[in-house]
Amino acid sequence: MKARHHFQAAAIIVTAMLSPALLAQEVIYTPSATSPGEGIAMTRHSFSYESYGSGPNGTNFSFDQYTFETAIGYGITNDLSFMMHLPVVLRDFDGPGAPSNSQGIDDMRTMLKYRFFQQDVGNIDTVRMALLAGVEIPSYDDVLSSDSFDPFIGWALTAIEGRHGVGAHAMYKLNTGTDKTDLGYGGSQADAISFDGSYLYRVDPVQYTIDTTNSKYLLVEINNRYEVNGDYETLLSPGFLIEAQNWAAEVAVRLPIVQQVDNRAELDWALTFGLRLTY
């Protein structure tokens, strides 16, 4: 009986130590309702490769895009956090009439996240909702930047029960630029709307023990991208996630399953690797 009590106490301690990471369960493309706690900083470093089969309006060129992004987040309070993203982009074009290869800094995104609802029903199980608001700040890069300040607002849901986690997200971005059309989603003068959903399944551990140091998840996302000019696409994004107390590693593939775009380039497929660190 005494040994059992010791084991239960140890399991509770381990769960408490791991819960900040485990409750995060942040997928790659769907923003979550979780954020760093008060006074905690985090960084997220990611590399994405995207293959585009044609340019806007069916123009006869293809290109590969490589994006290196660093995101920095900080918990202002337990319910309010700040995040900024700095992407560096390289584009490699191929085909008759294709633009020149380009590289530079894309527009930076800054955001506040406010968690307005939280209901914890266990050491891990929880339901959380948050409001997200921010602005894309132009880098004024000759090729990549929209040269405009574009505000956005959104909502996120994260729910965890046992080995299962689900997420949902919606966002509207007001594009204020009038003289530039970008090749990717959300970069033209048309307002952009996104709807996302995600599901995670914890494959290991089945149950937490004193020896647990990290958790491994299979995940899948459905990402819907719509612009008010009529362009839309639905992307399927399966992936894999490892989360520990102070770090997380992730990988995911993006595949279009519905695509009707005329004013931007058509995505063939994409691959993303990411690493998150908590300080």
pLDDT digits (tens, 9 = 90+) for 30-76: 999 998 999 999 999 999 999 998 888 778 888 999 999 999 999 99
Q: Tell me the C-alpha distance between 140 and 152, whole Å.
A: 19
Cβ neighbours, 10 Å, residue 40:
15
Mean pLDDT of 129-153: 93
Q: Tell me the C-alpha distance between 278 and 20, whole Å.
A: 10
Indicate whether 6 pLDDT > 70. no
Mean pLDDT of 164-179: 90
User: Where is pLDDT greater, at 88 or 6?
Assistant: 88
Indicate whether 272 pLDDT > 90. yes
Give the chain's end-to-end CA distance (angstroms, integer). 39
Range scoring the smallest mean pLDDT among 98-112, 122-136, 169-183: 169-183
Asked if 46 and 86 touch (Cβ cutoff 8 Å), the reply is no
| pLDDT at residue 181 in the model | 59
Asked if 167 and 174 touch (Cβ cutoff 8 Å), the reply is no
Mean pLDDT, the chain, whole residue set? 88
Confidence of residue 201 (pLDDT cuts 50, 70, 90): very high
| pLDDT at residue 265 in the model | 87
| pLDDT at residue 187 in the model | 73
| pLDDT at residue 179 in the model | 57
C-alpha closest to that of 224 among 153, 158, 168, 175 = 168
Percentage of residues in the chain having pLDDT higher than 70: 90
| pLDDT at residue 10 in the model | 44
Asked if 160 and 153 touch (Cβ cutoff 8 Å), the reply is no
Q: How many residues does the chain have?
A: 279
Cα-to-chain-centroid distance, residue 221: 10
Indicate whether 22 pLDDT > 70. no
Indicate whether 178 pLDDT > 80. no
Contacts of 201 (CB under 8 A, 6+ apart): 163, 164, 165, 217, 218, 219
Q: Tell me the C-alpha distance between 160 and 25, whole Å.
A: 9
**Omega prior to 256 cis, within 30 of 0:** no
Cα-to-chain-centroid distance, residue 265: 21
Element (H, E) at 173: strand 164-173
Percentage of residues in the chain having pLDDT higher than 90: 67
Element (H, E) at 112: strand 108-120
pTM passes above 0.75: yes
Confidence of residue 14 (pLDDT cuts 50, 70, 90): very low
| Planar angle of CA 50, 234, 29, nearest 5 degrees | 60
Indicate whether 137 pLDDT > 80. yes
Q: Tell me the C-alpha distance between 243 and 42, whole Å.
A: 14
CATH superfamily entry for domain 2-278 = monomeric porin ompg (2.40.160.40)
| pLDDT at residue 15 in the model | 45
